[in-house]
Amino acid sequence: MITKKTQPTIICNPEKSRSEYCELETDVGIVGKTYSVFFVKPSSQVAETDTNINSTSSLWSVRPYARKDDATAMGSVKKWSISAVENQEDVPECTIKHSVPALLFSLGGYVGNNFHEFTDVVIPLFITSRKFNGEVQFLVSDKRLYFIEKYKKVLRALSNYDVIDINEVESSQQVHCFPSAIIGLKRHEKEMRIDPERHTYSMKDFRDFLRETYSLKKEKAIQIINDNNNSSSLQKRPRLLLVTRRRTRAFTNEGDILKTAKSLGYEVIVAEAISNLQKFAELVNSCDVLMGVHGAGLTNIVFLLKMLFSFRFFQSEGLNG
C-alpha cells in the first residue's frame, strides 16, 4: 500500500526547463486508465527544491515529452495528473508492487522523426535514467511499438526491466505502486546537447554509451599524418559516408561528388538512413567522414568517432526538392 512519508521531496515543472516533469521521492501509485499519479500528502510541509509550485499545491499536470515549448509536438501528448491525497484511507490499494523507481515518458510528439527521437527522447532518457544503473522501470505513454523495437538495445541498456505500456488495456486497469517516480524527462536547452555543468553526464558519455550498447569496435578515426617523419602518409584510405535521399532534398550532382571524393583519396560509401539502428550504427562507425543534406539522417553523427568530420548541406542550387 502507499504509505505517508514524513518529508518527501517533490520537484515539479522547473521554470527554466524545456520539459515538463516531476520527481517524486515518495511512495507513489500510477493508474494508466485515468492518467493519474498520486501519493499521500505528508502532515509536514513538502520539501520543494528548485520548483515553481507552492506548499499548498496538491495537484500538478505533466505532459511527459521533452519539448514543452512546442505546441504542435505537445498536442499529441497525453496529460498526466499528479495529486497529493489528503487521507491514506482514500488511496487505492496497490494491485502490482514494484521494488524499483518508475520513469514515465511519452512516445508522442515528433516520435517517428529520427532527429526528434534522439533530441526529445533518447538523449533525455539517458540523462534522466543513467544514474539508476538499470534499476528503474520504464513506463511509456502514447506508445509507438516501432520505437520500442528500433531502440530496444538502448532501452535494455538503461533498464533491466521490460518496458511497460502503461495505457495498454490490461496494464491500465492496474494500480502500479513504486517507491519513487519521475514523470517526464530532463533535457538540455539546446538540441542534441548535454550540458555537463548541469548534468552528471556529457555528450562524450552518451557517445561512449552508444558505442558500448551497439558493440561498435572502431574507437578512433584514421590517422592521416605520420608523426615519425612529419609527412602526409595515409595508412589506408579514409572512408566517406554519403547519406543520400531519393525524394526531397536530394543531391542532383551525386556523380560529381563521388568523383571528386574519390580523386581526393576517399573510399566512398553511399547509403540511405535505415530503421535498423544496429546496422546503420555499424556503418557510420566504420567511416571517417559523414556527408549529406540537412534532414537526411545526419542525426546518426552520434555514432561518429572522435576527431571525425561531418558536412551538412542546406537546400540551395544543385538540390532537388
From first to last of its 321 residues, the chain has per-residue pLDDT tens of: 676 665 678 888 766 678 999 999 999 999 999 999 999 887 654 444 444 333 444 688 999 999 999 999 999 999 999 999 888 888 889 999 999 999 999 999 999 998 899 999 999 999 999 999 999 999 999 999 999 999 999 999 999 999 999 999 889 899 999 999 999 999 988 888 898 888 789 999 999 999 999 999 876 666 655 555 544 445 578 899 998 877 776 788 889 999 999 999 999 999 988 889 999 999 999 988 888 876 656 788 888 765 455 555 544 444 444
pTM of structure: 0.85
Residue 52's contacts (CB-CB under 8 Å, 6 or more residues apart) are 12, 13, 14, 15
Grid coordinates given for 291 = 556527408
Q: Could you tell me if 190 and 280 lie in one domain? A: no
- CA triplet 3, 7, 8: central angle to 5 degrees? 70
Residues 193 and 99 in one domain: yes
- Regarding whether 166 and 34 lie in a shared domain, the answer is yes
Interatomic CA distance for residues 298 and 282, integer angstroms: 15
Last residue of a domain, one of 184, 206, 228: 206
Shared-domain flag, residues 62 and 149: yes
Give a yes or no: residue 229 inside a domain: no
DSSP H stretches of helix in 78-192: 114-116, 123-129, 145-150, 152-158, 169-172
- Domains of the chain: total: 2
- 20 and 149 share one domain: yes
- Give 3-state DSSP helix, strand, coil % of the chain, rounded to 5: 25, 25, 50
**Which of 206, 226, 258 represents a domain boundary (last residue)?**
206
97: which 3 cell numbers?
A: 508492487
List the domain range (segments joined by +) for residue 284.
Answer: 236-313
